[in-house]
Structure 1
Amino acid sequence: MTRDLNRAAFTICVMTAVFVAARSAANGVDLSRTVDLGREIFSGQRTLVAHLRDDDRILPDSAVRCINCHDHADDTASFAPPLTSRYLLSDTRRRGGPPSRYNLSSFCRVLNVGVDPTGIVLKKAMPQYTLSDTDCAALWSFVTAR
């Protein structure tokens, strides 16, 4: 069963990469540039606009970098889960809910409104971002390549 889940996760990752590549090519965007943009967003080299749930005040740039909380690549205990293909694309119980996995749409949803693939609202400490579709797809491309 684990092997089937790993194969399914791999298939989803490949399908997502193909989708992003096709969309990027159709829009005249270089896929390597898309991943580079995602890396810039993740590391904070690109300015992000975000606020906390129920609070419209814009957070400072230094507080909204993904790398601040999601920099680890393993499942060790930390403030926030790793943003890796293993974590995002595997059927995993998150926040006490049923097993779920992310796709591009649910990933962008969690970043924009703070709701995970099963409809569970994330903790208030997770910023809610104002990301364009292009930026969100670039970030997805980067984190699912990790």
Structure 2
Amino acid sequence: MREIRVYVQQYPGTAARAGVGRLEYSVTVGDAPPVEGHTGRDGMITIRLAPGATARLRVLGSEYWIGLTDELFPIEEMRGVQQRLEMLGYCPGPFPEGVADVRADTYVNPNADTERAILDFQVDNDLYADAQFGPTSSGALRSVVRNARGE
């Protein structure tokens, strides 16, 4: 079993003040009955999942499917950067179909959503905000994801 933390927030990032507390939610895993609860002050919902399982989270009138990522792309590739930003709630958008992956440090952002996600991450982590994903941003992203137990 793996513990997954989902945060309901007013805006992306890791600041506790972004969280929305005391929201009603329900989580259903497989055929088990739904588990209901309230978000913590920081907006956190804890879900325990076995490999291959999927949870259905209902909160604020929306439904989200939560699962474990089988394997992450390397952080040196833009797809790997996008995966990690998405894990943190930054919404980087999709990687374009049919495009060969690009190294993250070549400063080529595949779409405006990815550029915005990188900028938001840089601002939230007191990095120089230029939407370019060089070694400083890469190291910070690796550290934040590791500290959140995402890798």
Category of TM-score, reference length = shorter chain:
under 0.3
Larger Rg: 2
**Structure number having the greater helix percentage:** 1
* TM-score computed with the length of structure 2 as normaliser: 0.26
* TM-score computed with the length of structure 1 as normaliser: 0.27
**Structure number having the greater strand percentage:** 2
